[in-house]
Amino acid sequence: MLTALFRVTTRKTELMFISEFKGYDQCIRIPYMPKFSSSCPPKQENSNWARKTIEKARNFLHFPPHVTILLWGKQVKASNLHCHWLSLLKSFYENYDIYSNRGAWHGIAIEDNSTAMASSSFACPFSALSVSLLLMLSLIAVMHFDKCEAQLSPTFYDNTCPNVSAIVREQLLLAQHSDPRIFASLIRLFFHDCFTNGCEASLLLDNTTEIKSEKFALPNNNSARGYEVIDAVKTAVENSCPGIVSCADILAIAAEASVHLSYGPHWTVPLGRRDGRMAYFNAASILPGPFDNVTVLQRKFAAVGLNDIDLVSLSGAHTFGRAQCFTFRHRLYNFSNGNPDPSLNTAYLAKLRQRCPDGGNRTVLNNLDPVTPDVFDNKYYTNLQNLKGLLTTDQDLLSAADTNASTAPYVNLFAADKKVFFDSFVKGMIKMGNIEVLTGSSGEVRKNCRMVNGASGPQFEIRLRDVEASSAEEI
C-alpha cells in the first residue's frame, strides 16, 4: 500500500510518500513551496469544506521544477521533476469514499499541465527520466534499505533526557496515592489518543478559537480522565529536560508505567513521537464504544491496522479500571424483549442490578474486573469464561455467536496462560503506539500539552491515503 501524508500549516508544507516494507516505513520526503492565492482557509470540520479545500489545492500549491528528494538522510537529485498540480479529481469520487471526520480523502491523482493521469495511485511524471514517481517508489520498496530514519527507538532520549521514564513513574506514583484508578485511566488516554488520527497527543489539546478539543467528543466527555496527571508529568519532565520530550511520548511512557506499576508486564517503549498541531473532534466517533458488538470492534481495530489478537489482548486492559452504569445498564433490564442479556452470569447480574437500579444514577462506577479490580492480570479472561464480562464489548469476545473462529480462542488462551497474555498485550501496545506517529521534523514538541506552541492564525491539516474502495468506509 502506498500512503501519502500531505501536511499544510501556516509555517510549513511537505508531502511525504511512505511505502511499507517488512513492517517498516520506507520514507521519501519531498518538500515544496506553497503559492497561496489567498490566506489559508480557516479550519472547518464538514464535508463541504473538505471538498472545496482539496479542489482549491490546485490553485495555490505547486511543485518547483527541480525537487530534491530526501531519501533516508541522503539527497538524491531528480532533475526536471514537474508536478504542477495536486488535486482530488471529481471523477474519482464515485470510486473512493471521503471520510472528512478524519480529514482523510481516499484516492487522489496528480495532474501534469492540467491533464489528469488516470491512476488510482500517486503518480508524477519525470519529464527528463520518463519514470513515474510511483514506479520509483516501488523499486525502492523492494530494495533492502535500512528502515526510515524517522522510526521510533527505545534509545531516543538516552542522550537528551535519560531519566524521562523514572520521572514519569515518580509522578504516577504520587498521583496514585490520591487516585487509585489513575493507572487504568492513563492507559485509556493513550488508547483513545492513538485511535483518533494516530499517537500524536491530539487528545490533550484544549479548546481554542482554532481547535475543537477531542476531550468533549462523546466517547471522551465525562469519561476520559487523567489530563491533570499528564500536566504534572510534563511539568516535571520540562524542569529536567526542557523542550525535549513530546506529550505523545509521555502518554506512551505513562501507559507502560501504569501497567507495570499494577503488577503487569514491563516493556521498553519505542520513543521519538512528535506532537500534532490539530485536534480531531469528529474523528473521535471512530473509537470503540461500550455498546459495540464484536463485528464492529473487529472493523474498527482493522481500520487502524490491528488484528483479532490485538483486539483481544488490548481488551485485557479492562482487567482493571471502572465503568459507569450507563455503559452496561441495557444488559441488565432491557437487552431483548424486556429481558436481561442471557450471556450474563445470574449471580453477577443480581449484584450489578443492586449497583445500578433501573432509573438510578447512571454515573455510578463499577469494577470492570470484579475479582482483582486494581491488579493487571489475566482474570479479565477467566471472568469472561464465567460470564462476568461487564460491557458488551467484553463478553462478546467470547459469547457472540460468530466468535468461535476468531476472538474466542484467544480469550481461552489468555485465560489459561498469563504469560502468553502479557506477551501479546505488550506486542499489541507497541503496535498501537506506532499508529500514524509524527516523527522527524513533522509536528512539534509542545511546551504545554494542552496547547500548540505559539499558536497564531489559522492552520489545517490534510491526510491522504490510498486504500481499496471496499474498505474506505471502515477507516
Bridge-based pairing state of the strands 67-71 and 24-31: antiparallel
User: 85 has which bridge partners?
Assistant: 111
454 class by beta-carbon count within 10 Å (0-12 exposed, 13-18 middle, 19+ buried)? exposed
Q: Is 177 annotated as a binding residue?
A: no
Three cell numbers written together for 95: 470510486
CA dihedral 122, 126, 129, 134 (to 10 degrees): -10
Q: Is 372 annotated as a binding residue?
A: yes
Q: What phi and psi, each to the nearest 5 degrees, are found at residue 252?
A: -65, -45
Q: Is 318 annotated as a binding residue?
A: yes
Q: Residues 291-294: contacts with CB within 8 Å, 24+ apart?
A: 291/327, 291/330, 291/392, 291/393, 292/392, 292/393, 293/392, 293/393, 293/396, 293/400, 294/393, 294/396, 294/397, 294/400, 294/402, 294/403, 294/406, 294/407
CA distances from 292 to 115, 242, 295, 308 (A): 45, 42, 8, 15
Q: Is 288 annotated as a binding residue?
A: yes
Which residue in 224, 221, 234 sits closest to 194, CA to CA?
224
CA distances from 408 to 280, 378, 395, 398, 421 (A): 33, 15, 10, 4, 14
Q: Is 82 annotated as a binding residue?
A: no
Q: Is 112 annotated as a binding residue?
A: no
Element (H, E) at 381: helix 379-385
Q: Is 130 annotated as a binding residue?
A: no
**CA–CA–CA angle 397, 399, 405 (5° rounding):** 65
DSSP designation for 96: S
CA distances from 181 to 165, 187, 321, 433 (A): 20, 11, 6, 22
Q: Is 441 annotated as a binding residue?
A: no
Residue 192 falls in the annotated catalytic set: yes
Q: Which of 192, 260, 266, 330 is catalytic?
A: 192
User: What helix, strand, coil percent values describe the chain, rounded to 5?
Assistant: 40, 15, 45
Cell 501497567 belongs to which residue?
259
463 vs 98: CA distance, rounded Å: 11
CA dihedral 100, 102, 103, 105 (to 10 degrees): -70
Three cell numbers written together for 160: 537528551
Q: Is 377 annotated as a binding residue?
A: yes
CA distances from 177 to 105, 170, 171, 321, 396 (A): 46, 11, 10, 15, 34
259 vs 384: CA distance, rounded Å: 21
Three cell numbers written together for 53: 479545500
Q: Is 260 annotated as a binding residue?
A: no
| Residues with a known catalytic role | 192
Q: List, as residue ranges, the binding site for Ca(2+).
A: 193, 198, 202, 214, 319, 369, 372, 377
Q: List, as residue ranges, the binding site for heme b.
A: 318
Q: List, as residue ranges, the binding site.
A: 193, 198, 202, 214, 288, 318-319, 369, 372, 377
